[in-house]
């Protein structure tokens, strides 16, 4: 409470300088998610938010105004939205929703800074487009675009990637040049003996440096937001469409032997449908789904041929039986006319 009361008593310039210093300390911290660093980040956010409200109340910047009309001491307040956005990105949170909200706030703050810089003609750059909202993954099997449209889109993507790479190279060169010039002016600014021109050049260089930083940070924010939105869309989106439609569940029933048994089970289980075996057979016979229905004609013919062969075998078997009977009778007749031992001349003198 005492700390917040002290912050309310600070002037706009002190709020800005205090928040800026805390940002530099947080960036130099060994553990960004540590308790001590996070306390500095939270305090820095409060200071820079108060500085932003103070700058808005004073109406330090307006459209249609030339850069030369802005006092050198007021140029530093142009950095407040960028510093606040950078501080917001350093707030650690464990929830996806909170992180997404912080990213949106930081992006809006960076974009506000870039808009003011563009209005005053500071730097040559284009404002980043609005990020695309991730949609749930399209179901497989949907038709894609034509080959011509696909080729054009690929070419456009390659050109955009090449242009983006070239812009990054140019920003990197400008950043190194700006940092070298800022390092030469910092000692003079810290000594408090900087002249008007040196102060103005220092803040203008800081603004140009943060223009490049803001463009890079917005690109990173858009990538992270796309991942988070994609994850959220997949969680909320409909599931994959089933490849095969599911059959409606069959209503349970009790299969009984006759109508009398159906009445008995029906009385005991009124919620279940009952049918007899005859009813079940007639129902399936009408639907043509009995095992003996729908048999091909060739198979039927085969069955008839098998039946004919079996009949022939029976006939043949009958003929063989008559022949065996005839031979047995002849053998009996022969034994009647020929006594036992007939024709045996062995051991006879």
DSSP conformational letter for 141: T
Three-state secondary-structure class, residue 118: helix
Question: 317-327 pLDDT, tens per residue?
Answer: 555 567 777 77
pLDDT at 103: 94
**Highest mean pLDDT pick, 95-99, 239-243, 246-250:** 95-99
**Highest mean pLDDT pick, 134-148, 149-163, 197-211, 259-273:** 197-211
Calpha distance 13→7 (Å, rounded): 12
DSSP conformational letter for 132: P
The mean pLDDT value for 286-315 works out to 60
Question: 37-55 pLDDT, tens per residue?
Answer: 899 999 999 999 999 999 9
pLDDT at 273: 57
Q: Which sign does the torsion angle of CA 64, 70, 74, 76 carry?
A: positive
Question: 225-247 pLDDT, tens per residue?
Answer: 999 888 877 777 665 444 555 55
Give the residue carrying structure tokens 């449908």: 273
The answer to which of 6-15, 151-160, 189-198 has the lowest mean pLDDT is 151-160
Q: Output the pTM of the full model.
A: 0.61
- Cβ atoms within 10 Å, residue 264: 13
% residues pLDDT > 70 (the chain): 69
Q: Which sign does the torsion angle of CA 300, 304, 310, 313 carry?
A: negative
Domains by residue range for the chain, with CATH: 2-133+166-236 (1.25.40.540), 253-333 (no CATH)
Give the residue carrying structure tokens 């009790």: 254
The answer to which of 114-128, 155-169, 211-225, 288-302 has the lowest mean pLDDT is 288-302
By the 8 A CB rule, do 51 and 79 touch? Answer: no
At 283, phi and psi to the nearest 5?
-65, -45
Calpha distance 48→84 (Å, rounded): 6
């Amino acid at each position: 409470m005492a700390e917040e009361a002290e912050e309310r008593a600070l002037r706009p310039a002190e709020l800005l300088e205090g928040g800026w210093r805390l940002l530099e300390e947080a960036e130099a911290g060994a553990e960004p998610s540590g308790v001590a660093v996070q306390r500095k980040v939270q305090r820095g956010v409060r200071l820079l938010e108060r500085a932003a409200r103070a700058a808005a109340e004073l109406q330090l910047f307006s459209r249609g105004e030339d850069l030369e009309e802005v006092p050198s001491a007021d140029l530093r307040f142009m950095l407040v939205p960028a510093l606040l956005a950078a501080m917001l990105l350093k707030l650690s949170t464990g929830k996806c929703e909170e992180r997404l909200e912080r990213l949106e706030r930081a992006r809006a703050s960076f974009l506000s800074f870039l808009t003011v810089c563009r209005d005053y003609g500071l730097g040559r750059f284009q404002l980043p487009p609005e990020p695309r909202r991730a949609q749930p993954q399209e179901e497989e099997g949907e038709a894609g675009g034509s080959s011509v449209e696909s080729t054009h889109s690929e070419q456009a993507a390659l050109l955009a990637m090449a242009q983006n790479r070239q812009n990054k190279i140019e920003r990197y060169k400008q950043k190194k040049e700006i940092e070298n010039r800022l390092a030469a002016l910092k000692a003079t600014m810290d000594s408090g003996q900087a002249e008007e021109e040196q102060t103005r050049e220092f803040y203008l260089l800081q603004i140009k440096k943060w223009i490049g930083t803001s463009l890079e940070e917005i690109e990173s924010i858009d990538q992270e937001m796309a991942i988070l939105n994609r994850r959220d869309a997949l969680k909320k989106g409909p599931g994959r469409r089933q490849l095969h439609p599911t059959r409606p569940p069959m209503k349970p029933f009790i299969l009984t032997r006759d109508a009398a048994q159906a009445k008995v089970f029906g009385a005991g289980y009124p919620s279940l449908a009952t049918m007899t075996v005859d009813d079940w057979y007639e129902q399936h016979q009408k639907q043509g789904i009995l095992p003996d229905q729908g048999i091909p004609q060739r198979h039927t013919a085969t069955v008839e041929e098998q039946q004919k062969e079996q009949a022939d075998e029976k006939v043949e078997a009958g003929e063989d039986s008559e022949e065996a009977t005839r031979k047995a009778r002849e053998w009996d007749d022969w034994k009647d006319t020929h006594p036992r031992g007939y024709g045996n001349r062995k051991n006879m003198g």
